[in-house]
Amino acid sequence: MTGLMTAPVNLLDFDPAQLVAYCDSLGEKPFRAKQLQRWIHQFGASQFDQMTDLAKSLREKLATRAVVVAPSVISDHTSTDGTRKWLLDVGQGNAVETVFIPEENRGTLCISTQAGCAVNCRFCSTGKQGFSRNLTVAEIIGQLWMAEFELRRTKGIEPGPKGERQITNVVMMGMGEPLLNFEPTVTALKMMLDDNAYGLSRRRVTLSTSGVVPMIDRLAQECPVALAVSLHASNDALRDDLVPLNRKHPLRALMAACVRYLDYAPRDFVTFEYCMLDGVNDTDEHARELVALVQHGGPGGMAVPCKFNLIPFNPFPESGLLRSKNPRIKAFSQILFDAGIVTTVRKTRGDDIDAACGQLAGEVQDRTNVQERMQKMAGYKKKFGDDFGRIVEIST
C-alpha cells in the first residue's frame, strides 16, 4: 500500500530562517536557501530548472516537492495618473487588490493582508464587504513578487540585482488589518527586509494599523518597521463611532503604545492618518483636540512624536459621509501646522480605477462576479475536460 502524496510546499510561504530549515530537511546546506531566495525574490524565477547554479539533484527534489506560486491576476488596470491596480484571486471567490503608486523618486506598493476586513470603519468601503479570511504568507509576499517582476516586464527591465528596482517602498495599507493577521504579515515583512530577497530598508516599509494595541507591542519586538496609525478622530466618543476597535483599545492606550513602539522603530515618529469627513471630524475644535492629544496624550502627559497625513475622503454610497471641502482641510491642517506638527495632505491617486485610499475591493463582487465565474468554469471543465480555458501554444 503506497502512502498518500503530500501537497507540494509553496516556497513563497517561507521567511529566510524557515527556508534554511526547509533546505536542511532536504539534506541541503544553508547557503542553498540563500541561492533559492535570490532566484525567487531577486530574479522572479518560478521554475526550478531556471535556477542554474543549484545542483541538479536539488532541482529534481524541489520539482516534486515544492512550487513558487503567487495569487493569479484577475484584472490589471492603469490609471491616467500612472497608478496601477491588480485584482488578485485568492480562492473560494475571494479577491484582494494590490496598488502601485509611481512617483518621481520612488515607487510605492500598497499590499493587502486580509480578504475583506473585520474592523469595519465607517468611512472605508473595503470594510463594508465584510471579512472573509486572513491571507497566507505566499499571498502577501506574492503581491510584491508579482508586482515587481510584472513592472519590470512592462518596462523591459531585466530581473536580478542589476535591473532597476521598481518598488522602493511598501505600505501595508491595502485590504485588511495587518496586526489581526500577525504571523503571516511578519513573516512576509522579514522577507521584504532580507538582503537576499528585496533588501528594503525598515524605514521604507510601513505598516498601517487601526490600533491593535497588544500587537503593536509585539511588532516592536519581532519586526519593527515604520508605523502608521489610522486615527481619524480626536476623542474617544467620536472614534468609537468611526473606528469600532477604539472601544477595545481607546486613545490613551493607543497613544501609550505608540510611544513604546518608538523605542524600537526605524523612524523617530509615528504617522497618524486622518480621513477628512465633512462636518464629522473636521472642525477647528477637532484640530485643537488633536493637538492636545498628541502633545499631552502619552504616558504621564508626555508628547507623542508624530506627523499627520490628512486624507480627503473617497465617498461611497453606503457610508452616508462626504469629503471635507478643500478650504476646510486647509484650515484644519493650518491649526496642526501652527502647533509645530508636520502635516501633509495626501494627494488622491487612482480615483478613476477605484484604487484610492479606502476604496479597495469595495465593489469586487459586483465588478468581477468571481464566485459566479468560478462556478461556471467548473461546469465547463466538467463538460469539456480539465484543459478548458487554458492558454496553449500552438506551433506552426
Domains recognised in the chain with CATH numbers:
9-69 (1.10.150.530), 72-365 (3.20.20.70)
Q: How confident is the model at residue 389 (pLDDT cuts 50, 70, 90)?
A: very low
Q: Tell me how far apart the alpha carbons of residues 274 and 347 are, in angstroms, rounded to a whole number.
A: 13
Q: How confident is the model at residue 124 (pLDDT cuts 50, 70, 90)?
A: confident
CA 75 to chain centre: 18
Judge whether residue 357 has pLDDT over 60: no
Judge whether residue 384 has pLDDT over 70: no
Of the candidates 131, 31, 151, 135, the one whose C-alpha atom is nearest the C-alpha of residue 84 is 151
Judge whether residue 365 has pLDDT over 50: no
Confidence (pLDDT) at 359: 47
Confidence (pLDDT) at 381: 53
What's 82's DSSP letter? S
Confidence (pLDDT) at 370: 42
Mean pLDDT score, 289-311? 95
Evaluate whether 230 touches 258 at the Cβ level (below 8 Å).
no
Mean pLDDT score, 235-241? 96
Mean pLDDT score, 253-258? 97
Mean pLDDT score, 73-99? 91
Of the candidates 82, 108, 109, the one whose C-alpha atom is nearest the C-alpha of residue 97 is 109
The more confident residue out of 8 and 2 is 8
Confidence (pLDDT) at 375: 57
**Span of 2-6, 273-277, 301-305 with lowest mean pLDDT:** 2-6
**Pairing state between β 306-312 and 342-345:** parallel
pLDDT digits (tens, 9 = 90+) for 99-117: 999 998 999 999 999 988 8
Q: Which residues are catalytic?
A: 97, 357
pLDDT digits (tens, 9 = 90+) for 179-195: 999 999 999 999 999 99
Mean pLDDT score, 320-331? 93
Q: Tell me how far apart the alpha carbons of residues 344 and 355 are, in angstroms, rounded to a whole number.
A: 20
Mutual angle of helices 213-222 and 182-193, in 10-degree steps: 30
Judge whether residue 368 has pLDDT over 50: no
- The model's pTM is 0.85
Q: How confident is the model at residue 288 (pLDDT cuts 50, 70, 90)?
A: very high
Q: Over the chain, what is the mean pLDDT? A: 87
φ, ψ at 104 (rounded to 5°): -60, -40
Mean pLDDT score, 284-300? 96
Question: 10: how many CB neighbours lie within 10 A of its CB?
Answer: 17
Judge whether residue 26 has pLDDT over 70: yes
Describe the strand order of the beta sheet including 306-312 as a list of residue ranges. 72-78, 84-89, 95-103, 106-110, 169-172, 205-209, 226-230, 270-276, 306-312, 342-345
Confidence (pLDDT) at 250: 97
Evaluate whether 232 touches 274 at the Cβ level (below 8 Å).
yes
Judge whether residue 161 has pLDDT over 90: no
Confidence (pLDDT) at 15: 93
Of the candidates 198, 224, 202, the one whose C-alpha atom is nearest the C-alpha of residue 12 is 198
